[in-house]
Structure 1
Amino acid sequence: MTALQRLRADVDAGRVEEVVLALPDLAGRLQGTRLSARHFLDSTVTDGFGACTYLLTTDVDMAVTARSGELDPEGTGFGDMVLAPDLATLRPLPWDPGTVLVLADARHPDGGPVQVAPRQVLRAQVEALAGHGLVPYAGVELEFRVFTESYAQAHAAGWARLTPATRTGVDYALVGLERMDALTRRLRRETAAAGLVLESARGECAPGQYEIVFRYDRALAAADAAAFYRTAARQVAAQEGMALTFMPKYDDAEGNSCHLHVSLRGADGTPVLAGDGAHGESALLRRVLAGQLACLRELTLLFAPTVNAYKRLRPGAFAPTSVAWGPDNRLAALRLVGSGASLRLEHRVPGGDADPYLALAGVLLAARHGIEEDPPLPAPVRGAPGPGAAALPASLGEAADALDGSAVARKGLGDAVVDALVAAARAEEAGYAGTVSEWERARGFERR
Structure 2
Amino acid sequence: MQATLDWLREHSASHVKVAVTDIDGILRAKYISREKLTGTLEHGFGFCNVVFGWDGQDTVYGNHVADAGFADASARLVPESRRTIPWENDLPFFLADFRDDEGPAGAACPRSLLHRVVVKAEGMGFTARFGPEYEWFAYRETPATAARKGYRNLRPLSPGMFGYSGLRTAQQAGLMQDLFDKLAAFGIELEGLHTETGPGVLEAAIAHREAMEAADRAVLFKQGVKELAYQHGLVASFMAKPSADLPGCGGHLHQSLWRGEQNIFHDPGGRHGMSTVMEQYVAGQIALLPSLMPFFAPNVNSYKRYVPGSWAATRANWGIDNRTTALRVIPGGASATRLETRVPGADANPYLAIAAALAAGLYGIENELALDQDPVRGSAYDQTIGEPLPVHLGGAAGAMRTPEVADLFGQNFVDHFLRTREWEWQRYLGAVTDWEVGRYFELA
For this structure pair, what is the TM-score category when the shorter chain's length is used for normalisation? over 0.9
Secondary structure (helix, strand or coil) at the match of 1:382 reads coil
Amino acid of the structure 1 residue aligned with 2:19: A
Task: Give, as a single letter, the amino acid of the residue that structure 1 aligns with 2:397.
Answer: A
TM alignment of 1:52-63, pairs within 5 A: 52-63=48-59
Partner of 2:315: 322
In the alignment, what sits opposite 1:124?
Answer: 116
Give the alignment partner of residue 44 of structure 2, picking from 48, 52, 76: 48
**1:15-42 deviation digits (Å, cap 9, x = unpaired):** x33211100111111112111223213x
* Pick aligned residue for 1:220 from 212, 215, 218: 212
Counterpart of 2:223 (choices 218, 228, 231) is: 231
User: What is the distance in 1 between the residues matched to 2:315 and 2:334?
Assistant: 28
- Residue 376 of structure 2 is matched in structure 1 by 381
Among 174, 179, 190, the residue aligned to 1:187: 179
- For the 8 Å contact 1:143–1:256, the answer to whether it is kept is yes
- 1:19-418 to structure 2, matched below 5 A, reads 19-41=16-38, 43-65=39-61, 72-74=66-68, 77-107=69-99, 114-177=106-169, 180-251=172-243, 252-266=245-259, 268-275=260-267, 276-337=269-330, 338-377=332-371, 378-385=373-380, 386-404=383-401, 406-418=402-414
Q: CA shift at 1:64, angstroms?
A: 3.1
Select between 433-442 and 22-31 the one with higher mean Cα deviation: 433-442
Partner residue of 1:422? 418
TM-score, normalized by length of structure 2?
0.94
Code of the residue aligned with 1:18 in structure 2: it is H
**Do the aligned residues in 2 keep the contact of 1:45 with 1:85 (CA within 8 Å)?**
yes
User: What SS does the corresponding residue of 1:175 show, helix, strand or coil?
Assistant: helix
Tell me what 2:429 maps to.
433
Gaps of 5+ in 1: none
Tell me the secondary structure at the aligned position of residue 263 of structure 2.
coil
* 1:23-63 residue CA offsets vs partner (Å, 9 max, x unmatched): 0111111112111223213x221222211112123210122
Q: Is the 8 A contact 1:57 1:420 kept in 2?
A: no
Q: Is the 8 A contact 2:169 2:194 kept in 1?
A: no
TM-score (ref. length: structure 1): 0.93
Alpha-carbon separation, structure 2, partners of 1:191 and 1:215 = 12
Letter in 2 for 1:195: G
CA distance change for structure 1 residues 151 and 411 in 2, over 3 Å: closer, same or farther?
A: same
Matched pairs, number: 438
Q: Which amino acid aligns with 1:418?
A: V
For the Cα contact (< 8 Å) 1:66–1:421, is it kept in 2?
Answer: no
Return closer, same or farther for 1:190/1:26 CA change in 2, 3 Å cut-off.
Answer: same
RMSD between aligned alpha carbons?
2.0
Q: C-alpha separation between the residues in 2 aligned to 1:124 and 1:110?
A: 15
Q: 1:366 to 1:175 in 2, by over 3 A?
A: same
Q: Which amino acid aligns with 1:223?
A: A
Q: What is the identity, as a one-letter code, of the residue corresponding to 1:30?
A: L
Gap regions ≥5 residues in structure 2:
none
Q: Does the C-alpha gap of structure 1 residues 137 and 27 become closer, same or farther in structure 2, counting only changes over 3 Å?
A: same
Q: Is the 8 A contact 1:105 1:119 kept in 2?
A: yes
Separation in 1, partners of 2:323, 2:62: 34
- Give the deviation of 1:365 after TM superposition: 1.1
Change (3 A) 1:249 1:179: farther
Please give the alpha-carbon distance, in whole angstroms, between the structure 1 residues aligned to 2:262 and 2:103: 35
> Is the CA contact 2:73–2:103 (under 8 Å) kept in the aligned structure 1?
no
Letter in 2 for 1:391: P
Shift of 1:7: 2.7
Partners of 1:145 and 1:157 in 2: how far apart? 17
What is the SS of the residue equivalent to 1:273?
A: coil
Would the alpha carbon gap of residues 380 and 316 (structure 1) be closer, same or farther in structure 2, given more than 3 Å must change?
A: same
Cα deviation, 1:288-338, whole Å, max 9, x if unaligned, reads 011010101011111000011000111121110011101100010000012
Question: In structure 1, what is the Cα distance between the partners aligned to 2:171 and 2:60?
Answer: 39
The one-letter code sitting in structure 1 at the alignment partner of 2:192 is: S
CA 1:339–1:202: 2 relative to 1, 3 Å: same
Check conservation: 1:273, 1:285, Cα contact below 8 A: yes
What is the distance in 2 between the residues matched to 1:375 and 1:79?
44
Partner deviation per Cα, 1:85-104 (whole Å, 9 max, x = no partner)? 11100111111114122000
Go from structure 1 to structure 2 and tell me whether the alpha carbon gap of 1:432 and 1:37 turns closer, same or farther (over 3 Å shift). same
Q: Secondary structure at the match of 1:417?
A: helix
Cα shift at 1:219: 0.2
Can you list the C-alpha shifts for 1:189-244, whole angstroms capped at 9, x where unaligned? Answer: 21111121221110011110001222100000000001011111111212222111
Q: Equivalent residue of 1:319, what SS?
A: coil
Residue number in structure 2 paired with 1:7 = 7
